[in-house]
Structure 1
Amino acid sequence: MSNDADDPIAAARDRSPLLRSYAEQYGESTPFAGLTVGVSAPLTPHTGLFIDVLASGGAEVVATGEAGSTHGEVVAWLREQPGVTPLADAGMSHEDLVGARRELLEQEPDLLADDGAHLLSIVHDEFPDVAAGVRGACEQTTGGITRLRTMDDQDALAFPVFDVNGTPMKQHFDNVHGTAESSLSAITSLTDAMLAGSVAVVAGYGHCGRGIARKLRALGARTVVTEVDPRKALSALADGHDVQPMAEAVTDAEFVITATGRYRVLRREHLDALADGAVLASIGSAIEIDTGALADEATSVEQRGPGVERYHFPDGRAVTLLTRGQVVNLSAPDSDGNPGEC
C-alpha cells in the first residue's frame, strides 16, 4: 500500500479508518487468496481504495468503470498495483465500457462487486457458464437492486447477491447525507447559482431524494417532490415539501433533480412544461433524464462549460443539462462522488 505524496487515493485512505483496518487485517489473513474479483463502479479515489483493500487481501482484481466518472490518475495508479488489472480509461464511451465489462467477465471472476447491476445483467444474459461459477456478488445502488429484485422474482439469479444499498449505514448515512451533500456541491459549482429562494423539484422520495430535498429546504429553496408511491408522497408532504405530479411541478422549477434510479422519469412529455432556465440534474443514475428527447426537441445545443449544456427550444425557452444526465456528483469536473466518510 503506497504512501507516496502523489498517491491519488491518499486523501480517501486518510478519511476511511475502517478500510485501513481491513487492509491491515486482510494483509495478514489473505481471505481472497486464489480468488478473482470483478469490480464495476465509478473509478474514483474511493473505489480505488476499495480495490486496493481487496488486493491487500490476496485477490486478483479486474475492474472497469462508469461513463463520465473514471479518474485517469486513479486508473494509472491502479495499473502500478500488484494484483490489479483496470480495464478503463478516462473518457471511454458507453460502447467501450460495455466491451470492457465483457472482457472482465471473460476472466471468469469468482466474486462480483457491482454498481447499477451492469455486470450482473450481462453475466446472466451473455455468460451463463461464467455465472454458474460465480460464488456471490454485491450491489450498492437503488436502481441496481430494483433490477435484481425483478430478476429474483423471476427466479433468474444464478448466485446470491448481497444488497449493500439496503444496509442501514448505506441508506441512512451515505444515501441521505453523502449523496445529498456531494450532489449539491457539484450542482452549485457547475451553475454558480444560489439555492435560497429557488424552486427545486426533486423526483423521488427514497433515501437519496429525501436527503437532498431536506438539505435544499434547509438552504432556503422552495421544494417540490414528485413521487409515485403514495406513502412516500405523504411522507414528503409531512416533512413540509409540496407534492405534485412531474408535469405540474416543472412549470415553475429552477432546478429539477432526479433521484429515483428509474428509467426516464423526466421524459419527452414533460419537456413542453419545463420552465425557461430550468437546470436538470440526476443524482440517481444515468437513465433518469431522457437526453435523447432533449436533443430531438432542441434547435441548438450550447456548451457552456465542462459538464454544462444549454438546450434551446423553438419557442425561445432554454434549459441547462448538467453532466449529460449522468450522475452529477460523480461526473462533474473534479468531483469524487460521496464524501470519504461515507
Structure 2
Amino acid sequence: MTPDVDTDDPLAWARDNTPVLESLQAEYGESEPLDGYTVAFASHLEAKTGVAIETLHEAGAEVLFAPSEPQSTHQDVVEALDARDGITAFAWEGMTDEEFEEVQHDLLDRGPDFILDDGCELIAKVHTDHPEVAADVIGGGEQTTAGITRLEAMEADDVLEFPVYGVNDTPMKHFFDNVHGTGESSLTNIAITSNTIISGKDVVVCGYGYCGRGIANKARGMGAKTIVTEVDPRKALQAHMDGHRVMDMDEAAGAGDLFVSATGNRDVIRTEHFERMADGVMLANAGHFDVEIVVPALEELAVEVTTPKEGITRYHMPDGRRLNLLAEGRLVNLTGPYSQGHPAEVMDTTFAMMFVAAYDMLVDGPDLAPGLYNIPDRLDREVAHRKLDTLGLSTEELLESQREYADDWEHRDSSF
C-alpha cells in the first residue's frame, strides 16, 4: 500500500499555505548560508512553527527549539522535527510549567549563536541565568509585543549583551499577524470552544493595540456590539473613531457578554470586575500567557468550579452567577481544545521576518552594538514582495519624475 505522505507528515498542510517560507527553502537549501551556526527557536510548537524551524535547518543551521507556552505544543510536530539530524527538541506535549522552565535552561546550556524568541523567554533567561552563554550570542529576534516590552526594559537598564531585532514592530509582522492572525484565530476559537455565536453579543476587548484592534474590528464585522477599554488616550480615541464604544473596565464589566483581553500586560480583568459581571459571561485571553485574567481571584470568589464543556471552566459565584473562563485563561487561540494558532498565511510572513532577522545578522553581519533595533526597511519590503509574488499580485513602479519630486524639497517647477 502506498504511504499517504500528507497524512504521515504533520507539516504537509502548513507547507502548502506558507509559500514564502517554501521560497526561502528553495533559495537557500543548496548554498546553506547558515551552516556552522546554532539557532535557538522558542515559539508555540505547532505545524507553522515546524515549517519555520525546517526552513532554518534547510538553510544550514543547527536548530534547538523549545516552547514559548507549555500548553500549546503539538506532539506530532515535535516528534517529526526531532527525528531529523541537526534539529533538537526541548519539548513535549503536556509538560508542566516547571518542566517548561527547566527545558529552556537546558537549551541555553547548549550555547546557541542566535536566539529567535517569543515573549523574550530565552533572551531574558540567558541574561539572568546564563551570562557566560549570553556573552557569546551574536544576536536575536523577538516576535511578540510582550517580548518587545521586556526588551525595552532590558535596554533601559543597559543589560543587553547582544543586538536584537524587534520583529514584532516591523510592518510585515504587526499589520498581518497581530491584526488578522490574532483577530481571526481568537474569535474562531472562542466560537468553536463555546459553540456560541458572536453576532449580537456585547464584546469587550481590553486593549486597542494591533491585536486588540484586529479582534474588535473583526468582532464588529461579525455583528457584535463592541466595547473597547484602553489605558492610552490616543488608542482610546482611535477606537472611538473606528466606531467602538469606549469606557473604563469598571463600567465595561457590567456591560459585556464576552470579554477578550489583548493588552500584553497582567491583572487586566480582576476581582472588582468579576463582581460586576452578569451571569453567563465568557472570559478569554488573547494577549499574554495566563496573567491578563486574574484566575486566582476567580478561584477565591467561587463557591464551586465545574467544567460544563471541554475547554471551559465555570466559576459559580455565591450569588448564583456563573462566569465561564476559556482555555484556563491561557491564550485562547493556542491552548484551547481545538486551537491551532494563527492562520498559516499570516504566520508565513512573521516567520519569514524571523528568518531574515537571523540571516541578516549572521550572514550579512551588520556592525551592531548590543541593543534593540528595528529590522531594516529593505528586509521588510523584500518579504512583502515575496508574499505578493506568491499571490500573483504586483505593485506600481515610481516614475523617475515621481522619484525626483519626492527627493526635491524646493519643487521649482511647481507651485505645490
* TM-score tier after normalising by the smaller chain length: over 0.9
Higher relative contact order (CA 8 A, sep 6+): 2
Contact 2:282–2:326 (8 Å) recurs in 1: yes
**Cα shift readout 1:222-259 (whole Å, capped 9, x = no counterpart):** 10000000000000000110111111101121100001
Contact 2:228–2:245 (8 Å) recurs in 1: yes
Choose the corresponding residue for 1:52, options 51, 54, 58: 54
Contact 1:88–1:100 (8 Å) recurs in 2: yes
Whole-Å separation in 1 of the counterparts to 2:301 and 2:270: 11
Q: What are the residue-to-residue correspondences of 1:1-342 with 2, within 5 Å?
A: 5-65=7-67, 66-286=69-289, 287-342=291-346
Whole-Å separation in 2 of the counterparts to 1:113 and 1:304: 39
2:311 partner amino acid: G
Find runs of 4+ consecutive structure 1 residues off by over 4 angstroms.
none
Give the TM-score, by structure 2 length: 0.80
**Cα shift readout 1:43-76 (whole Å, capped 9, x = no counterpart):** 0101111111111111111111122100011011
Contact 1:199–1:253 (8 Å) recurs in 2: yes
Q: Please report how far the alpha carbon of residue 4 of structure 1 lies from its aligned counterpart in structure 2 after TM superposition.
A: 5.2
Q: Please report how far the alpha carbon of residue 3 of structure 1 lies from its aligned counterpart in structure 2 after TM superposition.
A: 5.6
Whole-Å separation in 2 of the counterparts to 1:312 and 1:130: 48
2:38 partner amino acid: T
Contact 2:313–2:325 (8 Å) recurs in 1: yes
More displaced 10-residue stretch of structure 1: 201-210 or 151-160: 151-160
Contact 2:192–2:338 (8 Å) recurs in 1: no
Contact 1:55–1:82 (8 Å) recurs in 2: no
**Cα shift readout 1:188-235 (whole Å, capped 9, x = no counterpart):** 001111111111000000001001101111111110000000000000
Cα RMSD (Å):
1.3
Helix, strand or coil for the counterpart of 2:205?
A: strand
Structure 1 unaligned regions, length at least 5: none
Identity of aligned residues (%): 48
Give the TM-score, by structure 1 length: 0.97
Whole-Å separation in 2 of the counterparts to 1:151 and 1:267: 28
**Structure 1 residues 3, 55: CA separation in 2 closer, same or farther (over 3 Å shift)?**
farther
Question: How many positions carry a matched residue from both structures?
Answer: 341
Whole-Å separation in 1 of the counterparts to 2:135 and 2:308: 48
Q: Please report how far the alpha carbon of residue 97 of structure 1 lies from its aligned counterpart in structure 2 after TM superposition.
A: 0.4
Structure 2 unaligned regions, length at least 5: 347-416
Q: Please report how far the alpha carbon of residue 166 of structure 1 lies from its aligned counterpart in structure 2 after TM superposition.
A: 0.5
**Rg (Cα) greater in structure:** 2
**Cα shift readout 1:137-178 (whole Å, capped 9, x = no counterpart):** 111111111111111111111111111111112111111111
Whole-Å separation in 2 of the counterparts to 1:23 and 1:264: 42
Whole-Å separation in 1 of the counterparts to 2:49 and 2:117: 11
1:111 partner amino acid: F
Contact 2:6–2:13 (8 Å) recurs in 1: no
1:260 partner amino acid: T
Whole-Å separation in 1 of the counterparts to 2:87 and 2:313: 36
